[in-house]
Amino acid sequence: MFTTISSHACRHGQGKLSLRLFVLRNARLSNRSYTTEHAHHEARIENIRNIGIIAHVDAGKTTTTERMLYHSGRTRHIGNVDHGNTTTDFLPMERERGITIQSAAVTFQWPPKSVLPSGQESKTINLIDTPGHQDFRYEVDRCLPILDGAVCIMDGVKGVETHTERVWQSAHLSNIPRLLYVNKLDRDGASFKRAVQEAAARLKTWPLLCQIPWWQKDDFVGVIDVIHEVGLRFSKTSGAMAVVTKDTLATHNPALKDEMEKARLQLIDKLSDHDEAIMEEYLEHDINVSAGTIKKAIRRLIIDGKARFTPVFAGSSLTNIGVQPLLEAVVDYLPNPSERPELRVMTGSKTVTFSEFMEMAPKKKGAPHQKPEPVLSVSHVFKVVDSGARGLMSWVRTYHGSLSRSSHMWNSNMHVFEKPQNIMHVSAKDYHDIPTLSTGHIGAMTGLKQARTGDTLLTFPGHQTQAPEAYRSVRIKAPETPPAVAFISIEPYTKTAGDKIVDALQRLSREDPSIRWHKDERSEQLILSGMGLLHLEIAQDRLLTHYKIEKETAIWGDIEVEYSECLFAPTRPHYHEYDRALRGVAGRAACTVLLEPLEACHHDTLLESSVERDGNIIHVSIPLPEDTDELPFDTETVRQQLFNGAIAGLSRGPRRSAPVRKCHVHITFDPEKDWSKNSTGGHITNAALFAVRAALKEAHENAQVGILEPFTNFTIHCPEEASHAIQHDISSARGGQVMEVRKPEEEDYSGSVDGKAGERIDLTKVYVPPDPYEGVQSLRDEGKKTSGSVRMLHIMGKAPLKEMMKYDGHLRSMTGGRHTLTLDPGEFELVTGPREKALALDS
C-alpha cells in the first residue's frame, strides 16, 4: 500500500526525493557505520552544514540528536535520555541528571552514502546539541555565532517556553537561519495548532508549514509532506519510514488529503507574495507549482537569518516520527558556510567586513604601494574544554584559509603566537586526529596554552616573530559573558588545599567564562560565582569529580545571590597620576575619570567607541598631544590598558566589595605626561584603576552608592485553589510583584514580546490545520471540570532571586507538588526599605 509513487508527484519532479526518502527506511541496515576515515576526508564547503539544536530544557534536543545519529547510520543503537545512554549527554553528571550541561558536537552524513546514486555526495552535518537550562545560556550564546543554521525545537504540549524565546533572540543576533520542529506530538495534550500560533505570536516569525501532523484518531502516526504531497508513516520502534501517495491518502483518508491540499495552497499563496519566481510559476501553472520551486523560494526567504519566515516541521523524536524528513530539511534549507554573510571583524572600535578590512589595512612601512601582507587564515576559538587525558582542548571554527599542525597562529586577544599539538575532529566524547582544518570547518586543537573562549587566531606567511602591525589586534566579535547572579564561598583548611583549589578554579573558569572566581581580601575565602543555583551546583560537582578536589579539604558555603553596587548621582572628575615603580620599572601615566549612573536612555546616545562590559559602559578618550607628528604611544594599547584599569576598579564597590553595575565610565587619557620614562602598560592600567576607586570612594562618603540585587521573572503553573496563598506569599513575604494571573486557555497570542526583532503577526491570517477532535476537545474539558479535576492557573511576575532560588521546595508544600516553576533571568534592582536594613544586619 505504501510503495507506489503517484504519477502526479513524478510529473513535478517530486518522485526523486520521495523515492529517496522511501529508500531511507532500509538505509540503516546497509550503511554500516561512519568510520574515522570520513573524518580525514574534509567535505567540500558546499556539502557542509554547521547547525545547532536549540530550545528550552526538555523540548527534546538530545533525543532528536540521538535519533539523527541513528538514522544517518552514525550509531547502531538508539540511546535514550531517560536511560542515561545518549551520545551527546556523555558527562557522568549529564547522564545522572538527564540534562544537557555542555554543548556537544557530533558529525554525520546525510543522506547516508548507501542510498545515494554513485557520484553523488552526502552532506556532512556538524551538529551541536546545546543545553536548554537558562543557567547555561552562555554555553548556547558562545556556540551560536559559529553556526550557519539552527533547528529550534518546541515541545508540542508546552509550546513556546521562556528559554525558547531567549535562544531565538540569540540566534537573531547572529542572523542564523532557522527551522522550527514541533516535537512530542505523540503526547496527550499536544497541539500543533497552538504551538504554531505561539511561534507566530511570540517569536514573531511567519510559519511556513512544510508539514502537517498525521493523526489517526488519537494516535500520532506520521507527517504529511505538504510540498511533495505525500504522507510519511513511521514505525515507532525502528523509525522505518514509508511513503504514502496522494492517491492512497485520498482513498483511505480523504479529509487529510483535502487538508494537505489546503496547506499547500496556503504555502504557495504566502510564498508568492514574497518571491517572484514562485509567483510566475503560480500564474502559469496554478497550484501545480513544483516542489523544487517551492523549496528554492523557502530557502531564499530564510537565508538572511532574519527569520521573518520559518519553515515548520512536525514529529515525535522519542517515537521515531519525523526525524528523517527533518534531516532532509536541514540539507535543503539551511545554508552551507559559503552562503553566509561575510565575516565581520573588529579593528579598534570599528567593525568591518573581512574584505573591507583587507582593503584598508595599512601598507608596509617604506613601501606604500605594496599590498598589505596577506592573512593566510582567520579562526575563532569558541570553547575551551578540559578533556582530562588530552588536556585543554580549544574548539575552533575556521572562517578563512586553513590550519594545520605546523600553523604558527597569532592570538590577537592574548597577543601571543601559539602552535597546536594536534588538530582533531570532535564527535561527542571521541576525538580523531586530522591533518588540516579548512574554511567552514569546526574542530578542536590541543597544545594551545593561552587561548580562551572568544579569541581570534590568525596566520601569516613565513614564520614571523611579531604579527604585522595592522593585524595585531583584529578580532572576531565574541559574545559577552552575562553578569553573575549567585556565588558560593570556599574556605580551604590549608595552603596546599587552597593552591589546589585555585588551580582548579582557574581551569574551570577558562572552560566556562560565565564562572568567575576571586579571593575575598578580607575573609580570604575563595568566591566562585555563576549564573544560578544549578550552574553553581554543577560547577561544584565538576571541581570535586573532574578536578579531584577533596570535599573535606575546605568549608563549602551555601549558594547565595550576588549583590552589586550602583551610583545614584554622577561623580566629579577624578584625576590620578600613577608614578610609582612597577616591578622595578619607573614610569608615569595619568587620566581623568568621571562616573555616572547608566540610565536606559544612554544606550541610544552612546558613542561607537564605548564598550559594554558586565553591565557597565566604558568610554575612553585619548586626546592627541600638541606639536607632535608621530605619536609617542600606540592608541590601541593605551585604550585597552585604560579599559582594563576601569574594569578592575569597578569589580569591587565601596560598600560591600560587590561589583559595580549600571555605571557609565568616561576616561580621558592625559597625553602630556612624559612618556620617555619607560611607562609600562601597568602604569596606565593603574592610573585608571586608582581614579575609578577614588571616584567610587567619594560617592560612598556622600551616600550616593546603592545596593542592587538580581531579580528573576517567574511563571508558576499551579492549581487555582493554591493561587491566592502563593500570590500573597510572593508579594508580602518575598518582596516580589505579581504582574499577571491567567487561565491557560486565556493565553494571549497577540504578540507579547515587546521591542524584540520581528513584526507582530496577525494570527487570523496564519493557516494551521485543526488538531484532531478539536471540536470534541472542549466537551471533554467540560466533562473534566464537573468530575472534579483541578483547574490550573498561570501566575507571572518578578521577585528577588534570593527568595526564588529555592522556592520550588516551598511551593511543593503549598500545592502538594502539583505545580511547575519557571525562572528566567531578570534585571538587577535596587534594594530598599526593610530588605536593605536586613542586608546591613547581615554583613
Q: Can you give the binding site for ligand GDP, defined by CB under 6 A?
A: 55, 57-63, 81-82, 99-100, 132, 183-184, 186-187, 316-318
Would you say the C-alpha torsion 201, 202, 207, 213 has a positive or negative sign?
negative
Q: Pick from Mg ion, ligand GDP, none: which does 227 bind, CB < 5 to 8 A by kind?
A: none
Q: Shortest approach of Mg ion to residue 167 CB, angstroms? A: 13
Q: Shortest approach of ligand GDP to residue 231 CB, angstroms? A: 19
Q: Pick from ligand GDP, Mg ion, none: which does 63 bind, CB < 5 to 8 A by kind?
A: ligand GDP
Nearer to Mg ion, 62 or 668 (CB): 62
Q: Shortest approach of ligand GDP to residue 124 CB, angstroms? A: 23
Nearer to ligand GDP, 48 or 55 (CB): 55
Q: Shortest approach of ligand GDP to residue 756 CB, angstroms? A: 22
Nearer to ligand GDP, 318 or 361 (CB): 318
Q: Pick from Mg ion, ligand GDP, none: which does 134 bind, CB < 5 to 8 A by kind?
A: none
Establish how many alpha carbons lie within 13 A of residue 811's alpha carbon, considering only the half-sphere containing its beta carbon: 25
Nearer to ligand GDP, 320 or 540 (CB): 320
C-alpha cell at 48: 557542509
Asked if 133 touches Mg ion (CB under 5 A), the answer is no
- Looking at residue 287, what DSSP letter applies? T
> For residue 497, is it left (φ>0), alpha (ψ between -120 and 50) or beta?
alpha
Q: Pick from ligand GDP, Mg ion, none: which does 59 bind, CB < 5 to 8 A by kind?
A: ligand GDP
Nearer to ligand GDP, 61 or 246 (CB): 61
With b meaning 16 or more CB within 10 Å and e meaning fewer, what string describes 550-583?
eeeebeeeebbbbbbbbbeeebeebebebbeebe
Q: What is the DSSP string of 343-404?
A: PEEEETTEEEEHHHHHHHSPPPTT-TTSPPPPP-EEEEEEEEEE-STT-EEEEEEEEES-EE
Among 61, 233, 340, 588, binds Mg ion (CB under 5 A): 61
Q: Shortest approach of ligand GDP to residue 186 CB, angstroms? A: 5
With b meaning 16 or more CB within 10 Å and e meaning fewer, what string describes 662-679?
bbbbbbbbbbebeeeeeb
Nearer to ligand GDP, 60 or 653 (CB): 60
Q: Pick from ligand GDP, Mg ion, none: which does 660 bind, CB < 5 to 8 A by kind?
A: none
Cβ distance 613 to 640 under 8 Å? no
Q: Shortest approach of ligand GDP to residue 165 CB, angstroms? A: 15
Helices (H), 567-615: 602-605
Q: Shortest approach of Mg ion to residue 58 CB, angstroms? A: 8
Residue appearing with cell numbers 518582596: 735
Nearer to ligand GDP, 111 or 132 (CB): 132
Euclidean distance between CA atoms 379 and 388, whole angstroms: 24
Q: Shortest approach of ligand GDP to residue 318 CB, angstroms? A: 3
C-alpha cell at 574: 577624578
Angle of CA points 283, 287, 288, to nearest 5°: 100
Nearer to Mg ion, 100 or 324 (CB): 100
Span near Mg ion by CB under 5 A; candidates 56-64, 107-115, 155-163, 364-372:
56-64
- Looking at residue 563, what DSSP letter applies? P
With a CB cutoff of 8 Å and minimum separation 6, the contacts of 552 are none
Nearer to ligand GDP, 62 or 668 (CB): 62
Nearer to ligand GDP, 96 or 829 (CB): 96
Asked if 183 touches Mg ion (CB under 5 A), the answer is no
Asked if 668 touches Mg ion (CB under 5 A), the answer is no
Nearer to ligand GDP, 240 or 793 (CB): 240
As to burial, measured by CB atoms within 10 angstroms (0-12 exposed, 13-18 middle, 19+ buried), residue 37 is exposed
Q: Shortest approach of ligand GDP to residue 390 CB, angstroms? A: 26
Q: Shortest approach of Mg ion to residue 153 CB, angstroms? A: 10
Span near Mg ion by CB under 5 A; candidates 38-46, 57-65, 159-167, 267-275:
57-65
C-alpha cell at 247: 492517491
- 3-class SS of residue 595: strand
Q: Shortest approach of ligand GDP to residue 17 CB, angstroms? A: 24
Nearer to ligand GDP, 8 or 187 (CB): 187
Span near Mg ion by CB under 5 A; candidates 54-62, 297-305, 425-433, 497-505:
54-62
Euclidean distance between CA atoms 471 and 457, whole angstroms: 11
Nearer to ligand GDP, 55 or 490 (CB): 55
Q: Angle at which helices 533-545 and 495-511 pack, to 10 degrees?
A: 120
Q: Pick from Mg ion, ligand GDP, none: which does 528 bind, CB < 5 to 8 A by kind?
A: none
Number of H helices, E strands in the chain: 25, 38
Q: Pick from Mg ion, ligand GDP, none: which does 412 bind, CB < 5 to 8 A by kind?
A: none
Asked if 317 touches Mg ion (CB under 5 A), the answer is no
Please give the size of the binding site for Mg ion, defined by CB under 5 A.
3
Cβ distance 357 to 399 under 8 Å? no
3-state helix, strand, coil in the chain (%, to 5): 35, 25, 40
Asked if 62 touches Mg ion (CB under 5 A), the answer is yes
Quickly count: other Cβ atoms within 10 Å of residue 389's Cβ.
4
Nearer to Mg ion, 84 or 625 (CB): 84
Q: Pick from Mg ion, ligand GDP, none: which does 190 bind, CB < 5 to 8 A by kind?
A: none
Euclidean distance between CA atoms 395 and 385, whole angstroms: 8
Q: Pick from ligand GDP, Mg ion, none: which does 295 bind, CB < 5 to 8 A by kind?
A: none
Cβ distance 42 to 345 under 8 Å? no
Angle of CA points 808, 99, 793, to nearest 5°: 35
Q: Shortest approach of Mg ion to residue 100 CB, angstroms? A: 3
Q: Which residues between 76 and 115 bind Mg ion (CB under 5 A)?
A: 100
Q: Pick from Mg ion, ligand GDP, none: which does 187 bind, CB < 5 to 8 A by kind?
A: ligand GDP
Q: Pick from Mg ion, ligand GDP, none: which does 150 bind, CB < 5 to 8 A by kind?
A: none
Please give the residue ranges that form the binding site for Mg ion (CB under 5 A): 61-62, 100
